[in-house]
Amino acid sequence: MTDDYEHYEAVVVGAGPGGAAAAAKLADAGVETLVLERGVEAGSKNVSGGLIYAERSAPYTVDEIFPDFREAAAERPVTEYYLHNVSGRKVKTFDLTSLHEHDTEWCDAVLRRPMDSWLADRVHERTRETGGGLLTDVRVNGLLREDGKVVGVTCDEIEPITADFVVAADGVNSELARDAGLMDWEDPSEWFQGVKAVAEMPAEVIAERFDVREDEGVAHLFSGSLFDDVRGGGFLYTNAESLSIGTVFHLDSLVEERAEPHELLDNLLTHPLLARWLGDDYRELEYSAKLVPDSKKVAHPAPHRDRLVLVGDAGGQMQAQGPIIKGMNHAVTAGALAAEAFAEAKLRGRPETAGARYEEKLHDTGLMDKLRPRRYRAASALGERDAVTDTLDTVLRSPVGRLGLRAARGRLERLYSSPFMAMTVPDTRTPYVTLPTVIAEELGEEITDENEVEPPSLADRIGDLTYDTDVGNPHIRVLDNSWAASGAAVTACPVSALDFGGGCYREETIETNGSEERVVSLDTQPCVECGTCAVVADTEWEHPRGGKGVEFKQG
C-alpha cells in the first residue's frame, strides 16, 4: 500500500531552528530531504522569549550551520543580564552577567518570524540541491504506519509521504510525538506557559533608555511579589527596534492560583521599575503565548521510535532552570545530531539504527545532562516536598531568616550567579516568590518613578492579531464542559478570562430541571494555539489545518 506514496529519504516536520538545523545537515550529507511547515511562512506559528545562545560546549551552533546568521537573522547581541527581586515598590537588582556568560560564546535576542523565515530560505536552497525542498501551508497530522511500524507521515493537504527517516520538529504541541506515544499532556506540573508582548521602540530610544550601543543589548529578569504568588517570573529583552516583554509561569501554579495570564503580564508592564525603560509612549505590536516544556521533567531520554526522532520542544528539550532559559540552541544541536546520526547509519547500510545513534549522541555530547541535570534530580527529591517548602518559607519570613539574608547580602549575588546553583534550584514557590520577595523587602531600594503605561485590553490584543479562521473545522473540542473538568481553561487560557465574553473559553450558568450548573463554552476563533487548554481542560486538541488560525508577524 505505501509503495504508491511519494517517498523521500528524510522528512522534517517543522521549519523552526531544530527542523532547519536537521534539514540543512541532512542536505549537506547528500540526503534527499523534504521539509513540511504548517504556517503560511516559517515563523508565522512560532513564539519564543527569545534569546538564542551559542554554547562553547555544544557540538553545533546555529551560526556554524548557517553562516551570516547573526548579521542577517538576529536582532541584537545581549551583553548584560540582570535579575530584579521585587516586593511592591522595593527592588533589589543582581548582576547575573557572569552566569549568562558561562559556557556562552555569544547570545542574541531574536524574533521568530524574521529569524525562522530567513532560516527557511537557506534550508530550501540546500534541500533542493538533493531533490527535496520546503513546503509551507501543510499540516502533518499523524504518522503513517505499515505493519505497526512508522514509515512516514500523513497530512491534511497532500497525500501521505513515506521516508526512511522522520524528524518531528513540530514544536511543543507535537502531534507526532503524541501519536508515537513518546509525549503526553497529562500533568500541568511538567509545563510552563509563556506570554509575551512585543513593543515598538526605535533604536535610538533603546540606546538612550538602556544605555547601550547599536551592537549591545540587555536582558532583564523579574521575580518576587508582583505576580500574585504564581511560580515563575518576567523578562525584558532589547531587540533591534522593539522590546520583548513577557512572563513564564509553572502551569500548575497558574491553575492553582486561578491567575489570568494577561493580567500577570500587565502587572509587569505597569510596575514602577519599568517606567524608566517604557516611558509614556508604550505601543504594543503583538501579543502571543506558548507552552514551554520543563526539560527537567519531560525531556525524553530516548526520543525516537522506529524511523521517527523528536527534536527541540517536540522532545521536551527546553532548559528552564532558575534564571537559565535556553531552548532554541538545544533544538539546533539536537537537529544537527539527528541528521548526523542518520547520515552515519545510512553510510553503514543500517538506516534503521539512526534513532538509537541519535539517543547516544544526546547523552555522549552532554546535552541530555543539561536538560535533565542530575543535581536537580537529587535536590528535587527533598526540596519539592510541601513540608520542606513550608518550613523554608516560614524561616525566610521570620526575623531570624531576614537577619541571615542581611548578613549574607554580599554573597547573595555570587550565589545567584553560580551555574551549580542554577542547575539545582527546585520548582517551588521558595526561589520564585518567597526568597526574592524577602530579598527585596530587606535589601531593596524604593522605586519612586511613576509608570504611565496603559496596556491594551485583552479584546484589543486579540483584535490586533491576524487570523485566517478555518470556518467549520474547529481544532479544539470540549469533551466535558463542566466547570470541574474544564473551568481551569477560562483563567489559564491567555486569550480568555473570567467575565470576558470575547476569548476562547467562557463561563456560563445554565438551568436544568430547576437546578443551576456552571459550565464552559468554546470559541476557537481567538485561539493563539498555545495548547494550554489541552493540559488543563478535558478537551480534544489539534493544530488547525495548514495556513489556518493565528499568524504571528513578530513571534
pLDDT at position 426 is 84
H or E segment and range at residue 277: helix 275-278
Q: What single letter denotes the amino acid at residue 420?
A: F
497-534 core/surface letters (b: 16 or more CB in 10 A; e: else): beebebbbbbbeeeeeeeeeeebbebbbbbbbbbbbbb
DSSP class of 110: -
First to last CA, the chain: 40
pTM of the complete model: 0.96
DSSP class of 482: B
pLDDT tens digits, one per residue of 423-443: 788 888 999 999 999 999 999
Task: Name the percent of the chain lying above pLDDT 90.
Answer: 87
Closest by alpha carbon to 307, among 342, 262, 283?
A: 342
pLDDT at position 352 is 95
Q: What is the mean pLDDT of residues 372-385?
A: 78
Q: What is the mean pLDDT of residues 61-65?
A: 98
pLDDT tens digits, one per residue of 333-363: 999 999 999 999 999 999 999 999 999 999 9
> Which range has the worst mean pLDDT, 175-189, 197-211, 337-351, 501-515?
501-515
Q: What is the mean pLDDT of residues 494-517?
A: 90
Task: Name the percent of the chain lying above pLDDT 70.
Answer: 99
Residues linked to residue 243 through DSSP beta bridges, in sequence order: 199, 238
pLDDT at position 1 is 63
Identify the band that residue 510 occupies on the pLDDT scale cut at 50, 70 and 90: confident
Closest by alpha carbon to 148, among 181, 173, 184?
A: 181
52-67 core/surface letters (b: 16 or more CB in 10 A; e: else): bbbbeebebbbbebbe
List, as one string, the DSSP characters of 340-375. Answer: HHHHHHHHTT-GGGHHHHHHHHHHHTTHHHHHS-HH
- In 258-322, DSSP assigns E strands to 284-293, 304-305, 308-310, 319-321
pLDDT at position 548 is 97
- DSSP helix/strand/coil, 400: helix
**Joined grid coordinates for residue 112:** 521568530
pLDDT tens digits, one per residue of 475-505: 999 999 999 999 999 999 999 999 998 999 9
55 CB-side CA count, 13 A? 22
